[in-house]
Every structure is written in C-alpha cells, then in structure tokens.
Amino acid sequence: MSRALIIVDVQNDFCEGGSLPVKGGADVAAAISEYVDTHHNQFDHVVATQDWHIQPGDHFAEQPDFVDTWPPHCVAGTRGAELHPDLDTEYIDAYFQKGQYTAAYSGFEGVLAPEDAVPTGERKPGGAPLVEDAEAFAADEDAIGLDDWLQSHDVEDVVVVGLATDYCVMATALDAVQAGYSVTVMRELTAGIAPDLDDAYAEMELGGVDLA
C-alpha cells in the first residue's frame, strides 16, 4: 500500500494579489512547503492539482455570484495559473490540470500534465506554455487522470491539503472517498472562502473524510 499527498490548487490567482484570492492562501503555500520538507518521507508520492481554464463556459461571469460563477481565474498559460512561488515543488511527482473547458472543482477531474508543460512559481517569466499547447494537451484522449495515476502507483491512502477548503479541497476529498481511498484533510494546511467552514467540515465528515 502506498500513501500520497494531494496538494490542491495552490496557485497565484487563489492567493493574495490574485484574481480570486483566498484569505491566507500564501500562508497555506508556505505551510505546505514546510510540512512537505519535514514529512515527505511519510509519503510515497506527492502530487499537485491546478485549475487550468481555457474556455470554461459559464464558469466565468462578468457579474459572478461567487457560488456557481466566478471572475476569470487560472487561465491556461498565464501567471495566475502558475503555482504560488512559496509552494516548494521539489518533492512533487506529478501535476494534474483541470477545468479546461468546464467548471472543475475536484482534482479527480484533472489530467496528467507533461513535465515540460507545468508552469510553477520557480519558472522564469515567459516559461509558461502557450494556450494553443494547452488546448492540444487537454484534447489528448489518452491523457491520464488522477485516479488512474494513483491506482497505477498502488496508492490506497491520501492526505489532501490546499485551496480552497470549501470548494476544490472538499470536492477532491469527497471524490477520493468515492473512488475507494482512505482520505484525510489537514485543516491547518487549507484555507477556505467562507468565513465559517463548519458546514464544509461536516459535509466532508459525513462523506467519509477524516479531518486532522
């Protein structure tokens, strides 16, 4: 049995200064880096997810309701879609990009990105792939999903951290339970949109997620 850490959407647009910031997002990026540096030997694999929007339809809106529609964010090939520079990527084995042409909250909707198509905070400006490249990658029928990748690496136990607690973290954790994994969400390594996250925590626990 293998154990994996899933780092959800720790991207520039979801941190302070981005187009859809989560309060405390940058602090979460730094805290995850510190945690992984100290505890990476407790995991067989570390993976990260990214919102990676090309034409996500009505997921974007000029007058968003901040429930089902949102301001443009994490557009493929832009700095906003890059991983936050305070997130240390040294131990990340694979990246899964989601939401190319529709809303996508769960990391289990993502597909494996080629190693040369993952923009991170450590890349120099101009290093991000062109949107045309992203479109070709997203259209690849042979793209590997997160569940396929975890199964191929014999993962049975996952720990989920990242942004935002009440949206993509929760969706990823609940999908992981549905896929048959043992799932833990580390509350101190997440940050949420709602001021009170009790409902999100309750929904995760009801869905079979352990909270730490």
Does residue 148 have an active-site annotation? no
Q: How far is CA 192 from the centre of its chain?
A: 13
E strand map for the chain: 2-8, 45-51, 94-98, 111-112, 155-163, 182-191, 210-211
Does residue 98 have an active-site annotation? yes
Eight-class DSSP state of 11: B
- Kindly name the residue from 88, 147, 166, 168 that is annotated as catalytic: 168
- Kindly name the residue from 15, 98, 147, 175 that is annotated as catalytic: 98
| Distance between CA atoms of residues 7 and 162, nearest Å | 5
- Kindly name the residue from 9, 13, 88, 175 that is annotated as catalytic: 9
Does residue 168 have an active-site annotation? yes
For 140: left if phi > 0, alpha if psi spans -120 to 50, otherwise beta; the answer is beta
Query: What are the catalytic residues?
Result: 9, 98, 168
